[in-house]
Amino acid sequence: MNRIISVLLAMLSVVFVSAQESKLVNLQTEVRFDYQREYLNGDAVKSNSGFKGKYLNVILNGSFNEHFSYSYRQRLNKAHADQSFFDATDWIYLTYKLNKNWSFAGGKQVVGIGGYEYDRAPIDLYFCSEYWNNIPCYQFGVSTTYTTNSGKDSFMAQFCESPFNFRNEDLYAYNLMWYGSHDWYNSIWSVNAQEFAPGKFIYYIALGNEFKVGNAKLQLDFMNRATSHQPFWFKDCSVMGELSYLVGNKLNVYGKVTYDVNRTNSIGDFCVLPGTELTRVGAGLEYYPLPKGNRNIRLHAYVCKAFGENGNEAGTMLPKQTLVDVGIKWKMDILSLTNKIF
């Protein structure tokens, strides 16, 4: 831990010096800890029950001028190999904005896969699909984004390391995404080709849809996966749906269902293994106690239950699993610098 803190302070000092010529520097931390109970077939799983420190993140972002900006998030409670501090780095990338339409980025990024469950920050999710729990979603790569003049649609092309490059086999992923923002309807769609072995790909079509009516919001994701020489549609897929309602500006209540299935014999899907058909249902609430819409503190509670079969005996979601959880998240603004200070 001392080594991690020393490295972070060294990186911060470099950024502080360069910030004298930058437009903006923001440094934040966010923390979440929970008290949870897990039950399998009605029996308590003591090893996964009790107080749990879920997340401890450091977030740093800002811009050097109107063209160059950066973003960095380090997860301090995530294990990493001694030779690679980046194992615990969610992302760190530099963006060059050519104009209001075109931008280019390089570094460690979120792999461009569609869907709202996938897109949300892990600290803001409680119970998720089997797919979400097994996808290594942060990889090094480059991307370019085109945004329409209205600003309502963005299209991204990304070339990055494959999430399934477990043995450093020089594997890559090719991703195309559409982000749409159209009043009551928003979208995060993608088509993806992920290399899982040299010259062998698994292909995704991921359709993330968000519908808003008043204070009600429905996020509905569908992801279809297939390798070569297998039926494409509905044999290997996931569906995630969450319906939420905001009461005033302090209380959010929601219900969520996820469904993962893999009825193929393909070895290309390392997230949802063959023989899996799992459903998870649950509900929860979030409460923000600070006034005037300030969301730096959040209390949450949920309960969920899974049933079906998991082809991965070591999978995250297990049949007849019940989770009960209460917790708190808080965010702290540590440092904010602009060139007006100097």
What pLDDT is attached to residue 20? 43
Instruction: Flag whether pLDDT at 249 surpasses 50.
Output: yes
Which CATH number goes with the domain that contains 257? 2.40.160.10
What pLDDT is attached to residue 333? 92
Mean pLDDT of 165-173: 90
Decide which of 339 and 286 is more confident.
286
**In what helix (H) or strand (E) does residue 11 lie, and over which residues does it extend?**
helix 2-18
What count of other Cβ atoms lies within 10 Å of the Cβ of residue 189? Answer: 18
Structure tokens at 335: 């440092």
Residue 152: which domain range? 2-338
What pLDDT is attached to residue 19? 42
Residue 309, CA distances (Å) to 214, 239, 241, 272, 314 in order: 38, 16, 20, 11, 12
> How far apart are alpha carbons 125 and 240 in whole angstroms?
13
Instruction: Flag whether pLDDT at 117 surpasses 70.
Output: yes
Q: What is the DSSP annotation of 82-128?
A: TT-GGGGEEEEEEEEE-SSSEEEEEEEEE-----HHHHS-GGG-SS-
pLDDT tens, residue by residue, 291-301: 988 999 999 99
What pLDDT is attached to residue 198? 93
- Rounded to 5 degrees, φ, ψ at 163 are -60, -15
> How far apart are alpha carbons 294 and 313 in whole angstroms?
42
pTM, whole model, 2 decimals?
0.88
pLDDT tens, residue by residue, 62-108: 998 889 999 999 998 766 555 466 788 999 999 999 999 999 999 99
Confidence band (pLDDT; 50, 70, 90) for 238? very high
3-state secondary structure of 23: coil
**In the chain, how many domains are there?**
1
